[in-house]
Amino acid sequence: MKRTFFTLAIAALSLGNIWAQDGVPNPNLNHSPQSYQTDTISMEGRLQQIHVIATRATKSTPVAHTNLSQEQIKRNTYGLDIPSLLALTPSMIATNETGIGIGGTSIRLRGTDATRLNVTVNGMSLNNPDSHSTYWYDTPDLISAVGDIQVQRGAGTSTNGTGAFGGAVSMTTAAPTSEFEGEASLSYGSYNTNKQAIRISSGLMKEHWAIDARMTHIGSDGYIDRGATDLKSYMFQGAYYSDRTTLKLLSFGGKAKTNLTYTGVTKEEMELYGRRYHTEGQYETSNGPHTLADGTHVDYYDDQTDNYLQINNQLILNHRLTDKWNLSATGFYTYGYGYYKQYKDARTLLEYTNLGITDSDIEADMIRRKIMRNHTGGVNASAAYTSERLQLIAGGSWSYYTCPHWGELDWVDGMQSNAIAGRWYDNDVNKHDANLFVKTLWQAARGLTLFADLQYRFVSYEAWGVNDNYDWNTMQMQPINVDKEYNFFNPHVGVNYTFADRHNLFASFAIAQKEPTRSDFTDRYMFADDQTEPKHEQLFDYEVGYQYTAPKFMFGANLYYMRYRDQLIPTGMVNDSSDALNVNVPKSYRAGVELSASWSVARWLTLGGNATLSRNKIIDYIDMLADSPTYGVNLGDMTIAYSPELMASGFAEFHIKGFEAILRTQYVGKQYFTNNEIDALSLEDYAVTNLDLGYTLNSRRAKSVRLGVCIYNLFNKEYCSNGYGYSYMWDGVRYDEAYYFPQAPLHILANVSVKF
């Protein structure tokens, strides 16, 4: 099977990727081929941004999506991670562990977590092939290098990498400029949050060449105690342009060091020790320099950190054969190496097999490291044909991922260094991920466009060795033996109808399928009482949308019904890497309505907002989690964990001459940590308001100087953006354990940016 697929894949990959000029591609099929420019670069003017449209939705595509322009992105580059920007779009929530939007950030869309959201940069997947998550601090300050972003909700169009099971985030990097220029920016604010960034662009050299480079440092002490973040990043791109060919070399990445804060804090601990308290790296000692509110003396291990280096490389070749045919290919390679260090007190040494201890009563404090090194390489390619009434795109991708995981001990109390050498666990992973797709937009009649997107995806996943979990039944480390192949056919069909110039209707149906994550295989022992393996998920996505667009007013409504078979839903528990633990449920659904509107009240004032009302249910949920108080009970239809019924946000944007002010408010409804609808295991609803003020002035010595200040949590609300929890029985008594991630009260980030 593998050999057959790779033969087909190589044939398809020879075709190339399709690119489009400046902003979101909009091939309205009633335009002439000349007006549908797919990669033309103006050599005399500004070099336009290029991005992949093989995985993008256009105005005529029947997919619910939102586009974020480069101007919108720039307003949020002063110190926050990309999730904070994405939270401006409908149905999106951003979460953060450190309390200030930097460091351990993540997103949820329509209630689905980051493992089900496909994230790409220039068509290359950023999702980790093992965990399926995107770790934003592994690519620090990527937001400053991004040209535009499209967020697709639902199954979306064919994309590369892990399946889009709740949505997709497609990003493109900004192109170099046609003239020499540079930019330097500084930010500083509460909790010692700071950012220093510089960018240099060569401009167009000898009418064909351009170079662009950026370097950034981001640091913060964090709102949470010992929640410091230290991020260093770079980006380099060199490009060659001719009339029909574009060749671009791009490299970006960085080094991240973040203190571990992912254990959260209980409500009782917040009341006793304060909202900034957490236990990572803390240990009791009779003469500790710190005294807790209850009189306990403690100290802290000062290197309780996650350390990661990631380098992403892309070589992009684009060629326009004729006015109707475009070909391109992107080769990519990503290297990652990282580890996190932890202080663990009173650990049973028998569980660390490299020590040779056979007595289960021997305990000692220790410092341990969990390490991984990964390589990901592959190619994306496609070809596009465009005529007056037809657009046809065909292509595919292939990638290979390998990643050994192992653990070492840096120190064990009472033992010499030569006695603790070796690895206490060691395992490896190989993953092949490939797809072939063909999609078409056909203008069947004036204003009526038919859409079809057919994708075949092949996944081969192998994992072997021993995991970091000690099995007391066998008195050995937990073995890993996963060898799975998946063959997915993902069709997507729809219709788009534009009438009376300003009105647009669409309807679509899609099937999406997705394989389990690494932790779905390896960590089931933590909650499952049987030896079953996780099943792959299947989604049937029905969408109907309407949009009215006028020069000063826009309104949109989208209805969705996402029906799942064997959806992997979060149990509320996490493993010791903060990955959610999931369990298959036979039947479930997400249904809702998404509303959005904007109104240009005057030249200096714009109002807008969006809201999502939804129901997210498991049908006839039978609780099969080991030790659960309701084990084996059919609880009926229950709300899916982390799925609020209401999300809403609004904004007011004021600008006159060089001054601008943007006021934004977001509301997120109540969320349950588990699927039992237990109030003690829930996240209260919250509303938070931010204010962004800026003034831009021109100078003889600089193109522009922008002064700004961002005021976050303007009304000083005490709230938590995320958490986790679970229930269990012990000696006939039920216990509910819930942990939260508090967010900072009112805090400020000032910035100055100079363009020259």
Mean pLDDT of 9-28: 35
State yes or no: pLDDT of 23 exceeds 80.
Answer: no
pLDDT at 572: 87
User: Tell me: the pLDDT tens digits for 162-177?
Assistant: 878 889 999 999 888 8
Sequence-separated (6 or more) residues with CB below 8 Å from residue 35: none
Residue 529 confidence (pLDDT):
66
| Whole-angstrom distance, CA of residue 220 vs CA of residue 514 | 37
**Rounded mean pLDDT of 365-392?**
95
Which of 87, 66, 39 is closest to 156 using CA atoms? Answer: 66
Backbone angles phi, psi at 32, to 5 degrees: -75, 160
Using CA atoms, how far apart are residues 261 and 744, in angstroms rounded to an integer?
A: 14
- The answer to whether residue 30 scores a pLDDT higher than 50 is no
Please check the confidence at residue 46 and state whether its pLDDT lies above 50. no
User: SS3 for 550?
Assistant: coil
The confidence score (pLDDT) of residue 53 equals 61
Q: pLDDT tens digit string along 721-737?
A: 999 999 988 888 889 99
The CA radius of gyration of the chain, in Å to the nearest whole number, is 26
Confidence of residue 276 (pLDDT cuts 50, 70, 90): very high
Report how far residue 35's alpha carbon sits from residue 50's, in angstroms, rounded to the nearest whole number.
Answer: 16
What are the structural domains of the chain?
2-755 (2.40.170.20)
Quick one: tokens of 391? 């657009």
Q: What pLDDT, on a 0 to 100 scale, did the predictor assign at position 642?
A: 96
Residue-averaged pLDDT of the chain = 89
- Tell whether the model's pLDDT for residue 1 goes beyond 90: no
Confidence grade of residue 72 (pLDDT, cut at 50, 70, 90): confident
| pLDDT tens column, 562-612 | 999 999 999 988 877 777 889 999 999 999 999 999 999 999 999 999 999
Tokens 């290359």 locate to 124
Q: What is the pLDDT of residue 165?
A: 84
Structure tokens at 339: 């580890």
Q: Distance (Å, rounded) from C-alpha 71 to C-alpha 203?
A: 20
- What b-and-e string marks burial along 353-376, b requiring 16 or more CB atoms within 10 Å of the CB? bbbebeeeeeebbbbbebbbebeb
| pLDDT value of position 113 | 93
Residue 208 DSSP one-character state? T
| Buried-state track 500-513, b at ≥16 Cβ within 10 A, e below 16 | eeeebbbbbebbbb
**Residues 222-269 pLDDT 10s:** 999 999 999 999 999 999 999 889 999 999 999 999 999 989 999 999
Q: How many other C-beta atoms can be found within 10 angstroms of the C-beta atom of residue 229?
A: 26
Arithmetic mean of pLDDT, 101-105:
89
For residue 345, what pLDDT is reported? Answer: 92
Q: Say how far apart CA 169 and CA 149 lie, in whole Å.
A: 7
- Of 532 and 608, the structure prediction assigns the larger pLDDT to 608
Task: Report residue 79's pLDDT band, with 50, 70 and 90 as the boundaries.
Answer: low
Examine the pLDDT at 472 and tell me if it is beyond 70.
Answer: yes
pLDDT of residue 3: 44
Q: Using the predicted structure, report yes or no on whether residue 28 has a pLDDT greater than 70.
A: no
Query: Mean of the pLDDT values across residues 110-116?
Result: 93
Q: Pairing between strand 65-68 and 50-52?
A: unpaired
Q: How confident is the model at residue 52 (pLDDT cuts 50, 70, 90)?
A: low
Q: How far apart are the first and last CA of the chain?
A: 56
pLDDT of residue 625: 85
* Cα 579 to Cα 517: distance, rounded to the nearest angstrom: 10
pLDDT of 624 higher than 50: yes
Q: What is the pLDDT of residue 269?
A: 95
Residue 547 contacts residue 504 (beta carbons within 8 Å): yes
| Position 513 pLDDT exceeds 90 | yes
